[in-house]
Structure 1
Amino acid sequence: MHQHIRRSGNSHPDPQALRRARRVLTALIVPVLVLIIIGIVTLYSPNPLKGAKQQWAQTGVNRISGQVTGLDGKKCLIEGLKMPKGAADPTNGLPETQPLVCVKVLDGQWKDHIVPVRVPEESKPAIRIGTAVWMLYDTEAMATGTPFLFTDIKRGNALAIMGLLYVIIVVAVAGRRGFLALLGLAASTLVIVFFMLPALMSGKPPMLVTLAGVGAIMFLSVYLAHGITIRTTTALLGTLLGLVVTVLLAYAGTRAAGLTGASDEDALILGTQLPALVLPSLFMCGIVVAGLGALNDVTITQASAVWELDEADPQMPRRKLFSRAMRIGRDHIASTVYTLAFAYVGTALPTLILAMLSQRPFLELLTVSQIAEEIVRTLVASIGLVLAIPATTVVGTFLVKFVRASSGLNEKPRASSRVDTVESASVATKIEDEGILRAGKESSHAH
């Protein structure tokens, strides 16, 4: 008898109610998507440099590859290794801070020759026998005996192996969803490389570029990784609200703190090579993109929390559902805030050490441009993340209760329900049986 009993609160929303919820979400999300598409089309800059690309190397300088065969350049010369004709003694006048290594040239006119190459002292610990390197060959420096200049280590193979290992592990553990998440990552990278960077290089409005770019990234990554559902759309709405707040705060914080984005050498080079590029806007865009992953993580989790709590107790009032979901959100906020802070501190360790060497007061140290940038970056991203959680919770609570109200699942079970009918029948049968037994006993006593 009991196996037929069902509680009406555990039944699923009917398809019509789900269709109503989808229509509400469509009405909210489609205008946002249209605005993002219009922004991308309007701000797209196919040729930001306009033919003014910087030459990778000056005239007469060729880029070649090689492989290290010895770590003592002077010893290689003493042993009579092959040297290009016309080369002078490479040790003549060479400072000790520029050590020599022997490198076998792998391409170009000096292919298979073993030549001395100057390596900066800071790069020497990473150089071992067999290391593949990039070099510049300067024809005008032949008379000095050191026409081959080290530029960098070839890391293509190592990065490819690590990337392949990452893809294999993600797909093996997460399956189809992990593969779709990787597709979302690839699509997001294309948005950054082919839209955001060229638009910023062309001097387009930074706030609009950032909003359009990160909006497109969120649509691609969320829907590819998690599918187009009511839950993911709820998370997407919360993420977009958090992004708007983050962009506005990044713009206001950059201006209020007087940050120019020109605190390192790379930024200064960009400022001279690309006059249209506004360095503060580049810094602001970097703040938003850096906090994007954590923001999406908390909104997806929060949307799922709202729906799961409602599944567990469909009769829960909207205010109580919001309160319980926010308990989960507060725990997530606590963990994610210091995650962002530690991530930024980790990237700024060299800057922090240099600042400590200056022997300046601690509070004054925090206002140094390089450190102030990291502080503003952490605070802005954290504020946007914190505000996105209640926003997602509000949207999720409204939608889940809207679906239940539309399907009539929020009504409490009535007395005529299946459960009450069965229980009433059982009680009536028990009373009737007890009455028959009592009547039988009285009849036997009478006889």
Structure 2
Amino acid sequence: MKKNILRVGIMFFLILVITGCEKRANTSEEQDVFIGKILAITKDEINVIETSGGGYEQRVQEAEVKLLDGPYEGEVIRVINSMDQMYAYDLELFEGSEIYTFVEYDEDGKILEGFVYSYRRDKYIYVLVGIFLILMVVVGGYQGLRTLLTLGLTLAGIYYMLIGIAAGGNAILLSMVICTLIAVVTMFLVTGFNRKSISAILGTIGGVLVSGIIAIIASDYAVLTGLGTTEAQMLVFTQGEIDFNFTSILFASILLGTLGAVMDVCMSIASAINEITEANPFMSTKDLFKSGMNIGRDVMGTMANTLILAYAGTSIFLILVFFMNDIPYFDIINMDAIATEIVRALSGTIGLVLSIPLTAYIAAVLEKKNESNY
């Protein structure tokens, strides 16, 4: 049975990879974007361009690039790459590296020259994903395969939640439903249908909902718009006919960001109480609750740091901008972006902390109720 599941999992993964590669190839051909390998850098010079505001330097590279896919596979073309010190997204070419290049044609439909589209990064991402999958199966065995299955279902849930939001759905309702489904599916698949999984699910749902409620209240009082990030501001101009509620989307992001850490804490407590009950069936509900709280306090210290550090890590560039420009604390703390991250981190941490006594109590009651049935 386990071997059959393993084979199905591997086949499913291979189908996804092959389908993704074919989709990428078809997209590239339609857009005239192809994979190329740089054989040699034939030109690398710096030109000074004069403008009304003064001169600035422009670096121009030319390279011989061998196309690796598409109808022109094997053909060597000239690729031009311009790097301007006024822009932040310059791509420097190196011999031997692979790039995506888009091409221009002459009147006869032959390739005239190419230009740099981006570095080829997906190849190495796929390698990293492959290493991750192999290690999960080799080290985790059947449990690792089940973990991969839960991860895939989680990604699918997030994907369909985003589709729902993009279609104009209620982000709050969608995020609550998806988070609940993720918690239920993950716990049952990882540990099976039992008391500890039920305790962990109820504790997780309670903790995540608390985080969301606190975030909504804090966002209302702090007048957070949900537009504190560049990505959110870009969404304003790409939403088309959909009238997004950015505060609701912020709520959804807080729920998703909190869910993983809360699930970890709740499962740790529920599992520990279950093991304690198995080892000592004569412990009272009160003693089990106390044991769960002691375990939760130990886990709480590291998990609170996990949430805070995760949010701080995503904002490190912005924080450095503040330091380099000596922006006053008063201005920083009142910025929409900073206030949003603080509310996000603290509401998530509060939900995590409150999930500890909730899970400990539910687990203790369920374990003793089960004992009383014998």
* TM-aligned CA distance change 1:163 to 1:362, over 3 Å: same
Could you tell me which residue of structure 2 aligns to residue 396 of structure 1?
363
SS of the residue 1:118 aligns to: strand
RMSD: 2.9
Q: Which amino acid aligns with 1:212?
A: V
Tell me which residue corresponds to 1:281: 248
Residue 99 of structure 1 and its aligned partner are, at CA, apart by: 4.1
Pairing 1:112–2:82 present: no
Matched, 1:73 2:39: no
Please say if residues 191 and 213 of structure 1, whose CA atoms lie closer than 8 Å, have aligned partners that are also in contact: yes
The worse-fitting range, judged by mean Cα deviation, of 252-261 and 349-358 is 252-261
Deviation at 1:363, TM superposition (A): 4.2
The one-letter amino acid of 2:246's match is L
Q: Count the aligned residue pairs.
A: 330
8 Å contact from structure 2 (residues 77, 114) kept in 1: no
1:312 and 2:279 equivalent?
A: yes
Q: Residues 222 and 236 of structure 1 are in contact (CA less than 8 Å); yes or no, is this contact kept in structure 2?
A: yes
How far 1:301 moved relative to its partner?
Answer: 0.3
Q: How do 1:321-400 and structure 2 match up within 5 A?
A: 321-400=288-367
Structure 2 unaligned blocks of 5 or more: 1-26, 51-55, 107-111
Per-residue deviation, 1:173: 1.9
Instruction: For residue 291 of structure 1, give the secondary structure of its aligned residue in structure 2.
Output: helix
Q: Is the 8 A contact 2:64 2:79 kept in 1?
A: yes
Report the Cα distance in structure 1 between the residues aligned to 2:127 and 2:357, rounded to whole angstroms.
41
Distance 1:338 1:369 in 2: 23
Contact persistence 1:254–1:284 (CA under 8 A): no
Q: Give the Cα separation in 2 of the matches to 1:97 and 1:166.
A: 41
- AA aligned to 1:104 is V
TM-score under structure 2 length normalisation: 0.79
Pair 256,101 (structure 1): closer, same or farther in 2 beyond 3 Å: farther
Instruction: Determine the structure 1 residue equivalent to 2:120.
Output: 154
Amino acid at match of 2:352: L
Which residue identity is paired with 1:218?
A
Higher relative contact order (CA 8 A, sep 6+): 1
Amino acid at match of 2:121: R
How far 1:305 moved relative to its partner?
1.4
1:256 aligns with 2:217: no
Alpha-carbon contact 1:178-1:225 (below 8 Å) kept: no
| 1:298 alignment partner, one of 260, 265, 283 | 265
Residues 311 and 200 (structure 1 numbering): CA distance in 2 closer, same or farther, change over 3 Å?
Answer: same
- Give how far 1:283 is off: 2.3
CA distance in 1, matches of 2:315, 2:332: 14
Q: CA deviation at 1:167?
A: 1.3
1:176 pairs with 2:162: no
Partner of 1:210: 175
Deviations 1:277-335 (A, max 9, x none): 23332222112111211111001100011112223332222112211210110111111
Paired residue for 2:100? 134
> What is the rounded CA distance, in whole Å, between the counterparts of 2:65 and 2:152 in structure 1?
37
Aligned to 2:201: 236
| AA matched with 1:114 | R
Q: Shift of the alpha carbon at 1:98?
A: 4.7
Distance 1:61 1:183, change over 3 A: closer
SS state at 1:104 partner: strand
Q: Secondary structure at the match of 2:373?
A: helix
* Shift, 1:395, TM fit: 0.7
Decide which structure has the larger Cα Rg and report it: 1
Q: Per residue, is there more strand in 1 or in 2?
A: 2
CA distances 1:87-132 after superposition (whole Å, capped 9, x unpaired): xxx9795963454252515156794212222246655677432222
Q: Is the 8 A contact 1:105 1:112 kept in 2?
A: yes
Q: Aligned in 2, Cα 1:148/1:125: closer, same or farther, shift over 3 Å?
A: closer
- The amino acid that maps onto 2:293 is M
Q: Which amino acid aligns with 1:73?
A: K
Q: Please give the alpha-carbon distance, in whole angstroms, between the structure 1 residues aligned to 2:236 and 2:137.
A: 41
2: CA distance between counterparts of 1:278 and 1:170?
Answer: 39
Amino acid at match of 1:100: Q
- Cα separation, partners in 2 of 1:273 and 1:147, compared to 1, 3 Å: farther
Residues 258 and 68 from structure 1, CA distance in 2 versus in 1: closer, same or farther, beyond 3 angstroms? farther
SS in 1 for 2:102: strand
Alpha carbons of 1:340 and 1:72: their partners in 2 closer, same or farther (altered >3 Å)? farther
Q: How does 1:13-24 map to 2 (within 5 A)?
A: none
Question: 1:55-94 residue pairs with structure 2 within 5 A?
Answer: 62-71=32-41, 73-74=43-44
Asked whether the equivalents of residues 231 and 303 of structure 1 are also in contact (C-alpha less than 8 Å), the reply is: yes
Q: Does 1:191 align with 2:157?
A: yes
